[in-house]
A and B are shown apart, each in its own frame.
Chain A
């Protein structure tokens, strides 16, 4: 649904069993996986996790290269973690130079933690790559709605997300239009130092903001005219329903996670 237009976020619109899973199932799976990956401490578990991830990716019809790209922005963090663990873990030293030393424990711990971080990033990316922002919003609204009892604004948050998603393309188009209009009036974006360049953006941002407020006002009036009065008593056109494949996925993934956790505890 997002493919033909502007792609917001990382979503890759494909038709695969993973794409078709209920967004709630995927969100819960990722949440539990994150906890599980923090509990696990041994190589064998990570190996199993790696195999599980590979089978999920092949099910999702995404290419591995594409998924691995999501690691790139965090490469520095991964390296830093590795280096810190390498040099600052006490234990049996196998290499020393001045105050620097590398321990056997440091090597294994460093690798373990980097692999854990990689798995964490890949699992979450798998969620955002296979679930459209709209579905994510829906899933979050459903999952958070039990907390409405304690005043948690689940519906309001979802409505804000929906409106934001709806207006991102509109505002981008508008920014483009303003940019062209200002350039026609002699605006120069690329001259000067950092501060000057930031200042150059003012003629773009001010009209964009002013218009956004106007839009917000008109949208609110339009919503009120269409009887919008918050989430109370509201029904939905699009309803999330768990299918049998959702149940299979849940059963399989939870037995996998429970098995791994139990194994590391016993």
Chain B
């Protein structure tokens, strides 16, 4: 479990009231349990990425604590174990691949952990299979598409056998195809480890176990996707859009108020409701 306990954060050293005005995270309380698929939604500048960088101690809270499986991210002795358990995948696929071939990039994490060579080989194989990139093993990263690069980045994290996979806007620079590829990989992983997916694309949140919404450094809503998206008015206030299907359903509901007890989140649900 990753726990945020009243985390405040702002950039810079000062701690006067002025710095506080520029706070990026405000009293964030958050629990990321093992084995769940959670999505954090929020518009640009809402503090999502800053929150992500707190999960593995890249940034430390100005006040409050972040605990990962009982270890404090402030504790320098456990920081590397925390980073092994909490794998981060970032936005720009080009800026997180280190090695000159796919295989070696996936091996980068295990190499840093000082694992024996045989173990590295099995882990690379296993991780590449999980993201469906095994046949690209010997390719150079710049020959891959954006979606493939992000899958390699995920494999690089998985090879360290983490407990949590944090995707910090990992889909935002991808084309629709790449996005779909990545969402498929995530769907595959959700049973195996905790996935915490940060995005501003609401469509990617409909399948989540839990949705959180962040605005102006605060977590303003949390719950099942349907609960969150039924707060129609607020969604706009938070700078988000409704999923297309839900939007369509709302428009239909305007004409036919008797329809739709619960708002549909997937095309199947919409069709189901309409046909019943």
A residues lining the B interface (CB < 8 Å): 1-2, 4-6, 134, 162-163, 165-166, 169-170, 173, 214-215, 218-219, 221-229, 233-239
B98 touches A219 (CB 8 A): yes
A169 touches B142 (CB 8 A): yes
Which residue of B is nearest A174, CB measured?
A: B94
- B215 interfacial contact with A, CB 8 Å: no
Q: How far is the CA of A218 from the CA of B88 in the complex (A)?
A: 12
A–B Cβ pairs within 8 angstroms, 14 of them: A1-B138, A5-B143, A170-B142, A173-B142, A221-B58, A225-B56, A226-B98, A227-B83, A227-B84, A227-B112, A229-B112, A235-B110, A235-B120, A239-B117
- B95 interfacial contact with A, CB 8 Å: yes
B199 to A: closest C-beta gap in Å: 18
Task: Kindly name the residue among A6, A219, A233 whose own CB sees the greatest number of chain B CB atoms within 10 A.
Answer: A219
Q: How far is the CA of A234 from the CA of B115 in the complex (A)?
A: 8
A236 touches B58 (CB 8 A): no
Contact partners of B110 in chain A: CB under 8 A: 235, 237
B109 touches A222 (CB 8 A): no
- Determine which of B84, B92, B109, B156 lies in contact with A218 in the assembled complex, contact meaning CB atoms within 8 Å: B92
- Known A162-B98, A237-B121; contact A226-B58, beta-carbon cutoff 8 A: no
Q: How far is the CA of A68 from the CA of B155 in the complex (A)?
A: 44
Contact partners of B109 in chain A: CB under 8 A: 226-227
Which residue of A is nearest B119, CB measured?
A: A235
Contact partners of B98 in chain A: CB under 8 A: 162-163, 166, 219, 222-223, 226
B217 to A: closest C-beta gap in Å: 21
Q: How far is the CA of A234 from the CA of B121 in the complex (A)?
A: 15
B117 touches A237 (CB 8 A): yes
Q: How far is the CA of A170 from the CA of B95 in the complex (A)?
A: 10
B88 touches A227 (CB 8 A): no
A182 to B: closest C-beta gap in Å: 20
Contact partners of A229 in chain B: CB under 8 A: 80, 112
Q: How far is the CA of A229 from the CA of B120 in the complex (A)?
A: 18
